[in-house]
Amino acid sequence: MTHHHNDYDVVIVGAGIAGAIMAKQLGEQGKQVLILEAGTGTDGRFFDQGKEQGYESYMERFFTAMAKIPNAPYPNNPNAPQPLVTDIQKPPLDKPVSDHGYFVQYGPDPFASTYTRSEGGTTLHWLGTCLRMLPEDFELQSRFGRGRDWPISYQELQPWYEIAEQHIGVSANADVQNYHQIDNPSVQLPFEENYNYPMEQIPQSFLDQYLAKGLQGMQVNIDNQTYPIDVVATPQGRNGMPRGDYRPVGAVGNPDLGQRCAGNSNCVPICPIQAKYSALKTLEQAKQTGNVTIETQAVAYHLAVDDNTQNISKVHYKRYHSSDSAAFEDKAVTGKIVVLAAHAVENAKLLLASNVANSSDQVGRNLMDHPTMLTWGLMPCKIGAFRGPGSTSGIPSLRGGAFRADQAAFRIEIGNWGWSWPEGAPIATVPDLIDKHGLFGPALRHKIAEEYPRMFRFGFLVEQLPDPDNRVTIDDQYRDQLGNYRPVIHYKVTDYTRAGMAQAKEVSDAIFQRLGVEPFTQYKTSDPGYVQYQGKGYVYNGAGHLVGTHLMGKDPKDSVVNRDQRSWDHPNLYLVGCGNMPTIATSNPTLTMAALTFWAADNVLNALDQY
Amino acid sequence: MYRLSDFYRLSAALTGYQEVELQGTGVGPVYCQTLSKWVRQDVIEALYAQAEQIGALDNDTNQARFYDQIWNSAKLGPVARNIIKMWYLSIWYQLPADWNALYGVDDFSADKPPVEDYVISSNAYIQGLVWNALGSHPMGAKQPGYGTWAFPGHTAKTHNLD
């Protein structure tokens, strides 16, 4: 760790994946970098498995947690509070607000996604899905008259996708991921010739193989056009077998065997052997440059602006001593350049609290997620549920197409862990077998053995459009114990997305019928994510994909950053993270965010040359 | 005082696992202690005695007696069901307040407050019988190895079910 002073080349707010990539890239070029992280640190536990207070302590917390939710392993910290899925409620009809947990929700629909405020950020609990966006995802407005166009194209982002995939260590095969085997030109991806991922594709689960066989040749009809249904392996930021001499960073295990995924079936919320990528790996590389300092327990709360230059002159932060007490020191630091990498919601909050970068009035607006609808049932035979990574394949054939003029596109995720998401199986369901069905002894054991390996579920990640009314705001009434703002959220799921959910349900029904899956899907009106479309009910969940809030564009009047990811208003302020993305489309956003951040780091390096 | 041998014998009948399989988990003593922590000793003794009297559940008559005298007993049924859940899910579920008033340990003080449901220990989670029953492994532990998820799901052992 370098000496701590008060004047840096670059001050980065946030030690998640975006902040880590930025720091590593800058540190490698000899720039002096400070990262301010609101959450607690991991005290080097990533590379020190043996420590009592090390990574294993996260596992201990997870094992003994009653609700094994995404943030279960990661301690709640009242000085840097985080949203939890168990906090999500339907905003009450008679009152304008649901004030439960960290988010303050005004609805009309609940925002159901969460993130982690800790060193390593939400990559501590992500699934590792690393899909590229489709070329048409960058041009929704010009192609379909919906949403917005990006100020950059797929072709421009492509080299950065490659850098991000190499860095994360994505396991996949390019000749599979270009989707040329799918008879739908809209979804086909132009990969660079001879490009391949750093690691071989993770083996597809037995369930994936069963589905692929059963769905061969299947088509569905949307708006008088037929679309294929194809099962394709999903690229994953999880250690497979390395290609050539590629070696992933810092996983435990035998390096000659590729330090690979061992099938812990626990990618979300935590991979015990760290075979899955997390930003802690990149942070370690950043620290090894000798030029990057990470100050944890440091919550940035105000950006001061120089009136003459409009540059960000200081980053003010509260440095608390422990998560047990609200005592803090008020500190400030300067950097030639300031980079906000604190997360889509936290970036917006900080900008709003500082009243900066918002001449467009778009800060905090256009919050998007993938409302994720589930369907579940029992397969006619055992498909080996509850094994392997959370999802090893999906059905990407409906990620694009002409229908996007009228309804949302969606990606189908094939879940390997039975009914764990929709029903909490097995932990939450076995008590019913005993209490309600009176099963015990061999009959109980037999019932579990015969039924649970047949449990099956789909997840439909449905597209949402940028909507200025879906937004993060701040309100003096709502603050945390350090006196910082809590995010106030207004959110709704529009008919465009609901139509996509309805379409997804139809596709699911057709697949269930074709395969003889006994349906168990139930959308309860009491569920917080219950919505209706054309008289039918559906339920969405959060995907943890928080996008928008400071989106990039061509015009300073309707966007927050330019294509360089620099604030239109402040020459030395860069924003990174999913908040920059003008549309969410159908891919999990982390890979795209990582690619954009590598690009942004290049822009920051170029800008530093001017100082 | 608790009797581990009685606990194993009863647990085998309740869970459908052989005593030797239960012993192999290594968490039997902790479960036995957990039971004593929440249930009055005379109730536990009554449960063991009743089960002993009924004997093996290998015929309809014994099973009928089991349902009548243990499973459907307001006093013993909830304890029997909690023992099964403890073995399968590694969780102690709090019994209802009215049951506790009658049969729960009477010193719900300092170290024994009527707390919420809880996972007994991280090792207990790992040893939960449900994972073996469904033909897999506890999520986050006992990892089966690279690529094993591509194999057909193996059938949970059913040799002692007939």
Give percent of chain A above pLDDT 90.
88
Is the pLDDT score of A322 beyond 80?
yes
Of A93-97, A222-226, A513-517, B92-96, the range with the lowest mean pLDDT is: A93-97
Number of A/B CB contacts below 8 angstroms equals: 171
Taking residues B80-91, what's their average pLDDT? Answer: 98
Hey, are the CB atoms on B140 and A431 less than 8 Å from each other?
no
Taking residues A386-395, what's their average pLDDT? Answer: 97
- Which tens digits make up the pLDDT trace of A73-95? 998 899 999 999 888 888 776 67
Taking residues A491-518, what's their average pLDDT? Answer: 98
Hey, are the CB atoms on B143 and A263 less than 8 Å from each other?
yes
- Please name the member of B133, B139, B143 whose beta carbon is closest to the beta carbon of A448: B133
| A residues 33-72 closer than 8 Å to B (CB) | 59-60, 62-66, 68
- Please name the member of B133, B148, B152 whose beta carbon is closest to the beta carbon of A449: B133
Taking residues A494-518, what's their average pLDDT? Answer: 98
Which value does ipTM take for this structure?
A: 0.94
Is the pLDDT score of B155 beyond 60?
no
Sign of CA dihedral A168, A169, A172, A177: positive
Hey, are the CB atoms on B125 and A64 less than 8 Å from each other?
yes
Confidence at residue A279, expressed as pLDDT on a 0 to 100 scale: 95
* For testing contact with chain B, the best of A58, A254, A256, A448 (most B CBs within 10 A): A448
Give the span between the Cα atoms of A57 and A61, in whole angstroms. 6
Q: How confident is the model at residue A259 (pLDDT cuts 50, 70, 90)?
A: low
Taking residues B45-55, what's their average pLDDT? Answer: 95
Domain span at residue B56 reads: 4-150
Q: Which residues of A touch B139 (CB under 8 A)?
A: 68, 264-266, 386, 417, 420
Hey, are the CB atoms on A449 and B158 less than 8 Å from each other?
yes
Q: Which residues of A touch B84 (CB under 8 A)?
A: 434, 440, 444
Q: How confident is the model at residue A273 (pLDDT cuts 50, 70, 90)?
A: confident
Tokens at A259, concatenated? 């330090």
Is the pLDDT score of A267 beyond 80?
yes
Q: Is the Cβ of B160 closer than 8 Å to some Cβ of chain A?
A: yes
| B residues 137-156 closer than 8 Å to A (CB) | 137, 139-141, 143-156
Hey, are the CB atoms on B144 and A262 less than 8 Å from each other?
yes
Hey, are the CB atoms on A273 and B80 less than 8 Å from each other?
no
For A542: left if phi > 0, alpha if psi spans -120 to 50, otherwise beta; the answer is beta
* CA of A276 vs chain B CAs: smallest distance (Å): 13
Hey, are the CB atoms on A452 and B134 less than 8 Å from each other?
yes
* CA of A279 vs chain B CAs: smallest distance (Å): 20
Using alpha carbons, list the distances in angstroms from residue A258 to A49, A243, A277, A391. 19, 9, 14, 20
Q: How confident is the model at residue B160 (pLDDT cuts 50, 70, 90)?
A: very low
Whether omega before A269 lies within 30 degrees of 0, making that bond cis, reads yes
Q: Is the Cβ of A426 closer than 8 Å to some Cβ of chain B?
A: yes
Confidence at residue B110, expressed as pLDDT on a 0 to 100 scale: 45
Hey, are the CB atoms on A445 and B135 less than 8 Å from each other?
no
Is the pLDDT score of B154 beyond 70?
no
Q: Is the Cβ of B126 closer than 8 Å to some Cβ of chain A?
A: yes
Using alpha carbons, list the distances in angstroms from residue A495 to A124, A406, A465. 33, 10, 11
- Please name the member of A66, A382, A420 whose beta carbon is closest to the beta carbon of B119: A66
Q: How confident is the model at residue B159 (pLDDT cuts 50, 70, 90)?
A: very low
Q: How many domains would you assign to chain B?
A: 1
- Please name the member of A66, A416, A452 whose beta carbon is closest to the beta carbon of B149: A416
Tokens at A583, concatenated? 């549309």
* For testing contact with chain B, the best of A273, A392, A434 (most B CBs within 10 A): A434
Q: Give Rg (Cα) of chain A.
A: 23
- Which tens digits make up the pLDDT trace of A1-58? 445 567 899 999 999 999 999 999 999 999 999 999 999 987 665 655 445 566 788 8
Q: Is the Cβ of B159 closer than 8 Å to some Cβ of chain A?
A: no
Confidence at residue A608, expressed as pLDDT on a 0 to 100 scale: 96
Q: Which residues of B touch A382 (CB under 8 A)?
A: 135, 152-153, 155
| B residues 31-50 closer than 8 Å to A (CB) | none
- Please name the member of A257, A266, A427 whose beta carbon is closest to the beta carbon of B140: A266
Tell me the pTM. Answer: 0.95
Give the span between the Cα atoms of A162 and A152, in whole angstroms. 16
**What is the residue-averaged pLDDT of chain B?**
89
Domain ranges of chain A: 204-233+370-543
- Please name the member of B117, B131, B141 whose beta carbon is closest to the beta carbon of A66: B117
Q: Is the Cβ of A259 closer than 8 Å to some Cβ of chain B?
A: no
Cβ–Cβ < 8 Å for A580, A565: yes
* CA of B146 vs chain A CAs: smallest distance (Å): 5
Taking residues A376-380, what's their average pLDDT? Answer: 97
Q: Which residues of A touch B115 (CB under 8 A)?
A: none
At B100, which amino acid appears? N
Is the pLDDT score of B111 beyond 70?
no
Q: How confident is the model at residue A316 (pLDDT cuts 50, 70, 90)?
A: very high
Nearest-by-CA chain B residue for A384: B153
- Which tens digits make up the pLDDT trace of A402-457? 999 999 999 999 999 999 999 999 999 999 999 999 999 999 999 999 999 999 99
- Which tens digits make up the pLDDT trace of A522-563? 999 999 999 999 999 999 999 999 999 999 999 999 999 999
| Nearest to A88, CA basis, from A548, A541, A549, A546 | A541
| Non-local CB neighbours of A114 within 8 Å, separated by 6+ positions | A69, A70, A71, A82, A83, A84, A85, A542, A544
Confidence at residue A46, expressed as pLDDT on a 0 to 100 scale: 61
Confidence at residue B100, expressed as pLDDT on a 0 to 100 scale: 87
Confidence at residue A332, expressed as pLDDT on a 0 to 100 scale: 97
Tokens at A31, concatenated? 């720039």
